[in-house]
Amino acid sequence: MNIVTELFVVTFKIIWSFVLAGAKWFIPPREKSVEGQVCVITGAGSGLGRLFAQEFARRRATLVLWDINRESNEETAEIVREIYREMKPSAGEFNRSSDSVQELPLFQPKVYTYVCDVSKRESVYSTAEKVCKKVGNIDLLINNAGIVSGRHLLECPDELIERTMMVNCHAHFWTAKAFLPKMLELNHGHIVTVASSLGLFTTAGVEDYCASKFGAIGFHESLSHELKAADKDGIKMTLVCPFLVDTGMFSGCKIRKEMAPLFPPLKPEYCVKQAMRAILTDQPMICTPRVMYMVTFMKTVLPFDAIVCMYRFIGADKCMYPFLAQRKESTNNNESKTGI
């Protein structure tokens, strides 16, 4: 095929991709089933991780919960077990005989818990090995674990910066290297990166957090292209980029009061519901709320000075400062108590 013909074919495919994307607004794609599939969730002990666990449990997935905090991880596991107990048997779990209907549970989902520090590759690799031996091959990997230091760059200890990068970014490398080989062998799996809108655009005062999320998104997108280049279409990738979620992680963050109703913190339940919809329909990327797509687009086309003006008008330029001040006060109080 000569280059002119190929150019026409590529142009047609690009136009057709727009048509298909537009059609999904009117004909929502059908959600896939994850019943019986093994789902690993990092940072499952609280926040979005716990909510993801609940959503996958309701869909009868077998859950493997990772968290550095054993107690909170077990609390999530107990919530999941309660969901399993309350669920009605699926249609495939009935065996009809000539004189009676017997309830035979062909599949009973389970939940497994593991204490894992995802910032340490040795911990990730050893935990992944235990999972593969006890549970088997995994189908879904939800890279959700995340932290924030909550300090200005020059006030942040190097150790905290390194830990933020390791948990929010480097951990994605370790989990992928642990589970991707089997996915490639089977040409089956789904990797989800829970990033942030602060990995698409930035604000002042959270340099380490933004850098870590930019890194996670870069890793995710590059891996997506690598899978496409290898024709591994059976392995799906979904990037989740929510606006600030009301989990307490960025407690105190504020923008201009007149603009606040337009950009309220997201309810965690809403965020996870939207993410689950994207995951179950194999959507490559989801930004919540949808206005985040526009903000990201404007960042790519506007001059930097124009972006600064827009930030100042909205009050986004220093929106993290109240959060940072609150975190600093909390740290000082803790240090004072320790001194006493």
Q: So which residues are the catalytic ones?
A: 209
Listing DSSP states for 46-101 in one string gives SHHHHHHHHHHHHTT-EEEEEES-HHHHHHHHHHHHHHHHHSPPPGGGEEE-SS-E
- Name the residue among 107, 139, 183, 121 with its Cα closest to residue 41: 139
- Name the residue among 251, 234, 190 with its Cα closest to residue 47: 251
CA distance 265 to 83: 28
> CB–CB of 248/226 below 8 Å?
no
Residue in the block written with tokens 């008008």: 313
CA distance 206 to 6: 45
Residue 84 to residues 23, 63, 66, 88, 93, Cα–Cα distance (Å): 36, 11, 19, 9, 14
Q: Is the peptide bond before 322 cis (omega within 30 degrees of 0)?
A: no
Q: Retrieve residue 291's tokens.
A: 């206005």
Instruction: Determine phi and psi for 88, rounding to 5 degrees.
Output: -80, 150
Residue 172: CA count within 13 A, CB half-sphere: 27
CA distance 132 to 16: 40
Instruction: Determine phi and psi for 128, rounding to 5 degrees.
Output: -60, -40
CA distance 325 to 99: 71
